[in-house]
A = this chain, B = another copy of it.
Amino acid sequence: MARIALDAMGGDFAPQATVAGALLALAELDPALSIQLVGRTAVVEAQLRSLLESGEFRAADAHRDRLSIIEAPDVIEMSEKPGAAVRGKPNSSMVLGLRLQTEGKSDAFVSAGSTGAQMAASLMVLRLHAGLKRPAIVTLFPSGRRPVAVLDSGANVDCSAEELVQFARLGATYAECMLGRENPTVGLLSIGEEPEKGNAVTKEAHQLLLRAGLNFVGNVEGRDLPAGGTDAHALDVVVCDGFVGNVILKFYEGVAPLMIETLRKAGVDAIQLQAGLKHLDYSEHGGAPLLGVKGVSIIAHGKSSPRAVKNAIKVAYQAVTSGMNDQIGQRLVLATESAA
């Protein structure tokens, strides 16, 4: 059983996209999954009614009993300063949705609302595993081979070498639990394969990663991400500073539309293009877990469609059923003990 709390008010297309995404999830995913829609009850109920009455979602009525509504009178807007908003709105859908986990009433939280607020609220409510300095957002990059887990993709800037090593541990556990990768390979994003290439933090992190007890395959370069690896290794996890990670994530998001537009102008059939590039589409991959907090907090894109919300719920479901969070806690304890 997995109880997923969904921030019904979060995201550019909420509550339509969030409630519709929840209905898709109930219809398509495991029957052991239940969803808690967190938000303004009247708004959520009206949206739910409207969707259930529409042709597309009428069949979802059969799953109505796996859906509950949790009242949260406040909403954190995208424009608000994360820290202040989280402290000032304890009854927001963001904070209350996360609080359900510490109260034992829920197993995971999903939001397409402000990423900064979700991070701040997750840190405040769920707190970090012992020994961790910072959480990290992990994003799956579609590649020519298997998808590559990239972290940090935006939770942190100006990371230390020790933090990059912690991201590597978090990413390796994620790759095992969520992607089923055995003994996952970990690469360090830099500007050359050689250990002495890179900025000061990267060079230091390289040395620390050599003795971190992970399957570290050395430095990798920008081109190895879309390729999914080097000639020598397929890549499961790539570690970088959240500044670099966020720049390339957004860059990647922007490249596919450019390619599609360019090829469309060159006369390639638009439908064939969309179909061909489907597996490079972010909404297919769903949400990005915030790793390191004692609980499950899944960050969905602000522009999430119902399908993207459904996929983020699926990610939350996998995180719960794989026991990823406990695994992370155990691995961190082991790493701390072996270092001591």
Contact = CB atoms under 8 A, between A and B. Distances in A.
Interface residues of A, number: 53
A234 interface: no
Given A226-B251, A252-B255, A258-B227, A198 B243 contact: yes
Nearest to A269: B268
A259 B256 contact: yes
Nearest to A203: B157
A124 interface: no
A272 B277 contact: no
Contacts of A199: 157-158, 241, 243
A200 interface: yes
A246 interface: yes
A224 interface: yes
A249 B158 CA distance: 21
A140 B22 CA distance: 44
Contact of A252 (B158, B200, B246, B251): B251
A145 to B, nearest CB: 10
Interface string A196-231: 001110100000000000000000011111110000
Contact of A259 (B189, B240, B280): B280
A253 B158 contact: no
Interface in A224-274: 224-227, 240-244, 246-259, 261-263, 265-269, 272-273
Given A191-B243, A259-B256, A251 B227 contact: no
A289 B261 CA distance: 29
A276 interface: yes
Given A158-B199, A259-B259, A248 B275 contact: no
Nearest to A254: B223
A83 interface: no
A154 interface: yes
A31 interface: no
B275 A266 contact: yes
A258 B221 contact: no
A254 B255 CA distance: 11
Given A240-B247, A259-B280, A268-B273, 7 more contacts: A157-B191, A191-B247, A222-B249, A226-B254, A226-B255, A227-B258, A258-B280
B262 A248 contact: no
Contacts of A227: 254, 257-258
Given A200-B158, A262-B277, A250 B268 contact: no
Nearest to A274: B266
7 contacts: A144-B257, A189-B247, A191-B246, A222-B247, A255-B259, A262-B276, A263-B263
**By CB atoms of chain B within 10 A, which of A200, A242, A276 has the most?**
A276
A123 to B, nearest CB: 18
Given A191-B243, A266-B275, A272-B267, A261 B222 contact: no
